[in-house]
Structure 1
Amino acid sequence: MGPMQSQVTPAAWTVVVPLKPLIRAKSRLAGAVPGAARPGFALAFAQDTVGAVIACPAVRRVVVVTDDPLAAARLAALGARTVPDAPGAGLNAALRYGAARVRAADPDTAVAALNADLPALRPAELARVLHAAARFPRAFLPDAADIGTTLLTALPPSPLSPAFGGPSRARHRASGAVEITLSGVDSVRRDVDTAADLRTARDLGLGRHTATLLAGPVPGRPPREGSPLRGAHGWPDTRCGGE
C-alpha cells in the first residue's frame, strides 16, 4: 500500500455521496428491472448505503449531493445532510462541489467520496478502509472488478480530485492517490450496476431497504423463473445488513 505517511489519523470523516435524479439512475439494470421500478431500486441502494455510512464509527457526517427531492427527503430522514447538485453537474462535478461545500464549512475535515450504490455495505468494513486511508494524503479503493473506484479519500489540505467513471482505478492511481489493498472489505467494493452485481450483493447480505424491495413484487412484471429479482420466491433466506 506504499510508504507510511506522517499524518495524524483523523478522528472522523465527512463522506460525500453523489446521487443523480432517480428517474435517470441504474439504466444498466434494464432487462432485469422494469423502467418503472429502477428509481425505487436506486433509492433503496442509496438508503442502505447512507444508513451504513451513518452507522460507521469512523464517520462524523454524511453529505448527499442530489437534485432529487424524494431522495433528498428520504436520506435526510436517515440523518444525512443534503445539498443540491451544482449546475452543469456530472458525477465528478457533483463530488468536487460537495467536497468544496464541506471544506468551506470545515477546512480541517478529512473527506471521502463514496458511491451511492453499495446496498450490502457494512459499517465495520467501511471503518477499516477509512482507517487505512487515513495514512495517506489521498487514497482510493477499487471496485470489485478492479476497474473502477468505489471510495476516494483526501486528508486536509489535499484536494479530493475525483476522476470517477469507467476505468477510474487507473486514473486515480495516476493522480497520485494510493490504492488501498485490504482484504475482507468486499461490501465496500461491491457497487451494483447490473443484475449479476445485485446477485453478488445479495450473497454478501443486503441492507433492509433493498432486501425488502427484492422480497416484494416488481412493478410492471410478475416474478418469473430465472429472473434475478424473484425475491423470496427464488432467493430464500434473504439476508439483511448494512444498517
Structure 2
Amino acid sequence: MTGGWAVVMPVKRLGGAKTRLADTTGEELRPALALAFAEDTLAAVLECPAVSSVTVVTDDEVVGAALSRLGAGVVPDSPRGGLNAAVEHGVGAVRVDRPGAPVAALNADLPALRAAELGRVLDEAEVAPRSFLADAAGTGTTLLAVLPGVEPAPGFGPASRMRHRASGAVELMPADVESVRQDVDTGEDLLVAIALGVGPRTARSTHRLGTGFRRSAASHS
C-alpha cells in the first residue's frame, strides 16, 4: 500500500499546548516549542513513502498557516470537543475525498520522528482493520490506524493504550520504531527525544534553553 495512507494530525491551540513543559522551558518558549514539534513531525511524515496526504485539524491560525506552508491540508477543529473529536472530524474530512484510503491519526508531538520508522509502523498496520501504537511510556498512544470503511473510535488520553486494546484495536509491535513512540509532554520526554535526534525546528528552539539543558540532553544520549 505504498503511498496510500492519509495521516490526520490534530493540533491544539498553542496557548493551551504542552503546559507540562512550562516548568522546564518557561512559559514564553512553550508555545514555540509546541509549534516546532508539530512542524518537525509533519516534515517527517511527508517524507514517508507510505503516506500520500496529511490533514491537520486545528483552530490555531498560526499552526494552520505554518503547517499549510509545509504541505499539509488544514481543516478547522469545528467540533471543538477535544482530541478524540478532532480525530473523528479529521478522518471524516479525509473520507469525503478519499473514501478508499486507509487513515492513521498521529500525535503532533513527535519531534524525533523518522520517516522510515513511521513506514514500518504503517506497513504493519495494513494487516488489521483497526490498530494502534503505544507510546514510549507504555500507557498512551501515538498512532491509531484504520482501514477503509472502519470507524476510528479514538480513545486518546490518559491510559489510552488499555482503552484501545479493550476496544478491540490490535496493538502494533514493530521493532526499532522508538521515534514514533516518543511523544513529548514533559521536560524528561524532551531530553529523551533530543537524544534520539530531533528535527531542525525543535533543535533551534531547544538551543534557547541554555547550556544546562543541553548538558542534560547530552547525558541522555
TM-score by length of 2: 0.95
CA distance in 2, matches of 1:235, 1:10: 35
CA distance in 2, matches of 1:154, 1:71: 26
Aligned to 1:80: 72
Once the 2 structures are TM-superposed, how far is the Cα of residue 61 of structure 1 from its aligned partner?
0.2
CA distance in 2, matches of 1:70, 1:29: 20
Once the 2 structures are TM-superposed, how far is the Cα of residue 213 of structure 1 from its aligned partner?
1.0
Aligned to 1:132: 124
Once the 2 structures are TM-superposed, how far is the Cα of residue 138 of structure 1 from its aligned partner?
0.5
Higher share in helix: 2
- Percent of aligned positions with the same letter in both sequences? 52
Q: Which amino acid aligns with 1:36?
A: E
**CA deviations over 1:111-135 (Å, ceiling 9, x no partner):** 0000000000000000000000011
Correspondences of 1:1-243 after superposition (within 5 Å): 9=1, 11-215=3-207, 217-218=208-209, 223=210, 225=212, 228=213, 231=214
CA distance in 1, matches of 2:136, 2:193: 11
* Structure 2, unpaired ranges of 5+: none
Superposed CA RMSD in Å reads 1.6
**CA deviations over 1:4-49 (Å, ceiling 9, x no partner):** xxxxx46510000000100110001121011111100000000000
CA distance in 1, matches of 2:216, 2:102: 43
Q: Which amino acid aligns with 1:34?
A: G
* Large movers: runs of 4+ above 6 Å: none
CA distance in 2, matches of 1:151, 1:70: 24
Once the 2 structures are TM-superposed, how far is the Cα of residue 88 of structure 1 from its aligned partner?
3.2
Change (3 A) 1:108 1:29: same
Q: Secondary structure at the match of 1:162?
A: coil
Q: Secondary structure at the match of 1:31?
A: helix
Q: Secondary structure at the match of 1:119?
A: coil
Once the 2 structures are TM-superposed, how far is the Cα of residue 235 of structure 1 from its aligned partner?
5.1
Q: Secondary structure at the match of 2:24?
A: coil
Q: Secondary structure at the match of 1:150?
A: strand
Q: Which amino acid aligns with 1:122?
A: R
**CA deviations over 1:54-96 (Å, ceiling 9, x no partner):** 1100000000000110111110111000111023320000000
Q: Which has the larger radius of gyration?
A: 1
CA distance in 1, matches of 2:151, 2:13: 26
Change (3 A) 1:19 1:183: same
CA distance in 1, matches of 2:2, 2:205: 36
Once the 2 structures are TM-superposed, how far is the Cα of residue 212 of structure 1 from its aligned partner?
1.1
Change (3 A) 1:136 1:191: same
* Structure 1, unpaired ranges of 5+: 1-8
CA distance in 2, matches of 1:13, 1:85: 21
Aligned to 1:3: none
TM-score by length of 1: 0.86
Give the number of aligned pairs.
Answer: 219
Kept after mapping to 1: 8 A contact 2:13/2:58:
yes
CA distance in 1, matches of 2:10, 2:162: 21
CA distance in 2, matches of 1:199, 1:235: 5
Q: Which amino acid aligns with 1:76?
A: S
